[in-house]
Structure 1
Amino acid sequence: MRLKRFLLRYYPPGIILEYEQGGQTKTKSVDLLDLKPETDVDAVLDEISRKEPLITPSRMDQVRTLIKKLQQKLAATDDHAFYLFKVLRAHILPLTNVAFNKSGSMFITGSYDRTCKVWDTASGEELHTLEGHRNVVYAIAFNNPYGDKIATGSFDKTCKLWSSETGKCYHTFRGHTAEIVCTAFNPQSTIVATGSMDTTAKIWDVQTGQEISTLMGHSAEIISLSFNTKGDQVITGSFDHTVTCWDVRSGSRIHTLIGHRGEISSAQFNWDCSLIATGSMDNTCKIWDARTGQCIGTLRGHEDEVLDVAFDYTGQLLATASADSTGRVYNAVTHQCLMKLEGHEGEISKVCFNPQGNKILTASADKSARLWDPQTGKCQQILAGHSDEIFSCAFNYEGNTIITGSKDNTCRIWR
């Protein structure tokens, strides 16, 4: 094994090692999730040299410089106020979802008008219209971090794979017997998973377009799908009140997470894949040990359905969105409620952290999106102007651009 070069990853903080083994170029990451601006660099270097044989003493000065760069980025103050950059009259019917590519240079919108559109973030110009579905395009995803492919899942029971650069359709995945409502790429971009109202999820080969396996076992529709960072496991959340963790290679079930008393709305791994968070219509969120499948905490406090959950990059904080018009911030380890996010006047359907972990974004039926400080729970900014409910929102990788998608048929870019 020979180390070729280092790549820096700002969010979450880490150093990617590119190395050669048996004539092949491979990568592995040194995650520095606990790094702070005041962390002792020598202590971090000692830890890395003990654990990582690829980093020899001669490379230590390089690594020191990279760690200091990461610390500078973490120390940068963020008092950015967002302004409305552009309103995109994106579709002739309401939007269903929005998503950025990794760099944030492009984003996609799905719609009831049966299309998905690809947009240039910097100019707000439409790059491509992906046409071919015969019903609502509901689930959309980029193959991040690469961003050269897009998957679209439709109520027409098919999923299509497209080139984000040319708009060409590579494959149409057929096999589901009901609407496809969620889709995701594994981080390696070799497979796509689709979840359907037919109670199954399917795994597809990106290269060949062939079905690899059908994940069977749920007794109601699957509405949430999420891969772990290694890409060897996928979790499915279902209206049957359970979440199942699957082995991607064999298609077999690893765990079923049983304990919720209502439909699952959202299921997510944290960054290091040690924890899984699930939100449910039973007004609670649960934290599970991803290794054993055991429930290790129930997060209570919401007075209505929990509609979305999101970890920050450290996996220490969890934000929730609820139909009770509030968001909450919990400590994912102690399960304590740290902050209540109050101010919206309608249900909150989406919540996410910015990549830096120092802002929370919520989208609400009250036609506004809000930015919050996770440390204080204070609302920092209200993004107003949509004329109908906002059901989708996202940050770009740098955290300096936001998109919001609304039932008013428009998408707004905020900078």
Structure 2
Amino acid sequence: MGNLDIVKGGKSSSSSVRLDPRLSLTGHSRGINDVAWSPTAAYVATASDDKTLRLWSAETGDAFVEFRGHTNFVFSCKFNPQSNLLVSGSFDETVKIWDVRCGECVATLPAHSNPVTGVDFNRDGTCIVSGSYDGLVRIWDTATGECLKTVYAEGNPPVGGVRFSPNGRYVLSGTLDGRLRLYDLFGGHTNERHGVDRPQPRGGKCAKTYAGHANSRYCVFAAFLSSNPRRRCVVSGSEDGRVYLYDLQSRLARQTLEGHTDAVLAVDAHDSLELIGSGGMGNDRCVRFWAPSSSSRVDG
């Protein structure tokens, strides 16, 4: 993947570009566990240890809606592609679906037997994935709340994060045994053959496993870096303070990004740019952005 430039402490090592704070969103009474951007509007949702979620304007900082109903920490949240629904996972072991416009809970799924650590919508919003410390990854029908499929790794290691692939065919699951697993929900068939983004009866097998990062204590997030078709990667944080880039197909570690001084739990990749964001824990407290250097942008 070539060398990477680091935007560190608001200043790039290769230019004078600065990232400065524009807004401060204040309202939660306890720590914030997750932040989700609306795909269609300038809104941000937050999930907090105060047992609530909030919807904010990313332009003014105003709080529009407060979502109340969970009875324990809210750990994860995501918008559906249409941005009219928000899904949340909580330590109360449930998954809730919310109407963004009014803040009402439209469905509560008794999803797991341990805290829910990750939730996500698929590419058309018809399915939800949830992961939990009970070791299970479950796929849900958004409209009916029906559990369509349950998958798990050998030994049931706790699940620290889940994410649908951009094409909606796979689910990436990070577990506290130091592995990422890619589950094929369609059993080798293409989405187009079935015509809808729904898991198939033969699907659910682990297609690939990625290992090398450290993950045994915390919920470490992972993401797909797919903007460059010649070097698609799975990106993972790690408790050793590094960010790992695994080749999507070969499963080999293409690069290890070093710069944080504490465990890296939070990572995400831009949908259309070859850009990664990562956040370090308490002894680091930095958000860093990583992109190809000018010498590696044109080569594979």
Band of TM-score, shorter chain: 0.7 to 0.9
In structure 1, the residue matched to 2:54 is: 160
Q: What are the within-5 Å matches in structure 2 for residues 193-342 of structure 1?
A: 193-250=87-144, 252-260=145-153, 261-262=155-156, 263-281=158-176, 285=181, 286-289=183-186, 290-292=198-200, 294=202, 296-298=204-206, 320-321=210-211
Q: Give the superposition deviation at 1:198.
A: 0.4
Cα separation, partners in 2 of 1:400 and 1:269, compared to 1, 3 Å:
closer
String of CA shifts for 1:255-278, please: whole Å, max 9, x gaps: 241554312333333344344454
Answering whether residue 223 of structure 2 is matched by residue 352 of structure 1, we say: yes
Aligned counterpart in structure 2 of residue 390 of structure 1, from 250, 255, 264: 264
Q: Distance in 1 between matches of 2:89 and 2:114?
A: 11
Cα separation, partners in 2 of 1:153 and 1:259, compared to 1, 3 Å:
closer
String of CA shifts for 1:195-231, please: whole Å, max 9, x gaps: 1000111111111122111112422211111111111
In structure 2, the residue matched to 1:123 is: 18
Cα separation, partners in 2 of 1:365 and 1:241, compared to 1, 3 Å:
closer
Q: Distance in 2 between matches of 1:378 and 1:232?
A: 32
Contact 2:213 2:239 in 1 (8 A): no
Cα separation, partners in 2 of 1:411 and 1:364, compared to 1, 3 Å:
same
Cα separation, partners in 2 of 1:156 and 1:88, compared to 1, 3 Å:
farther
Q: Distance in 2 between matches of 1:270 and 1:161?
A: 25
In structure 2, the residue matched to 1:177 is: 71
Higher-helix-fraction structure? 1
Cα separation, partners in 2 of 1:124 and 1:179, compared to 1, 3 Å:
same
Contact 2:242 2:259 in 1 (8 A): yes
What letter is aligned with 1:399?
L
Cα separation, partners in 2 of 1:245 and 1:379, compared to 1, 3 Å:
closer
Aligned counterpart in structure 1 of residue 240 of structure 2, from 356, 361, 366: 366
- For normalisation by structure 1, the TM-score amounts to 0.56
Q: Matched residue pairs, number?
A: 265
Q: Give the superposition deviation at 1:244.
A: 2.8
Q: Give the superposition deviation at 1:401.
A: 3.0
Q: Which runs of 5+ in 1 are unaligned?
A: 1-78, 90-121, 300-317, 326-345
In structure 1, the residue matched to 2:288 is: 412
Q: Distance in 1 between matches of 2:52 and 2:219?
A: 29
What letter is aligned with 2:102?
T
Q: Distance in 2 between matches of 1:259 and 1:373?
A: 23
Q: Distance in 2 between matches of 1:378 and 1:281?
A: 20
Q: Distance in 2 between matches of 1:175 and 1:347?
A: 25
> What secondary structure sits across from 1:225 in the alignment?
strand
> What secondary structure sits across from 2:27 in the alignment?
coil
Query: What percentage of aligned pairs have identical amino acids?
Result: 26
> What secondary structure sits across from 2:168 in the alignment?
coil
Cα separation, partners in 2 of 1:81 and 1:228, compared to 1, 3 Å:
same
Q: Give the superposition deviation at 1:178.
A: 0.2
Q: Distance in 2 between matches of 1:134 and 1:347?
A: 23
Cα separation, partners in 2 of 1:242 and 1:161, compared to 1, 3 Å:
same
What letter is aligned with 1:265?
G
Q: Distance in 1 between matches of 2:7 and 2:172?
A: 34
Contact 2:161 2:221 in 1 (8 A): no
Larger radius of gyration: 1
Cα separation, partners in 2 of 1:410 and 1:234, compared to 1, 3 Å:
same
Q: CA RMSD in A?
A: 3.1
What letter is aligned with 2:6?
L
String of CA shifts for 1:318-365, please: whole Å, max 9, x gaps: 56356558xxxxxxxxxxxxxxxxxxxx99944433222415334322
Aligned counterpart in structure 2 of residue 403 of structure 1, from 277, 282, 287: 277
Q: Which runs of 5+ in 2 are unaligned?
A: 12-16, 187-197, 292-300
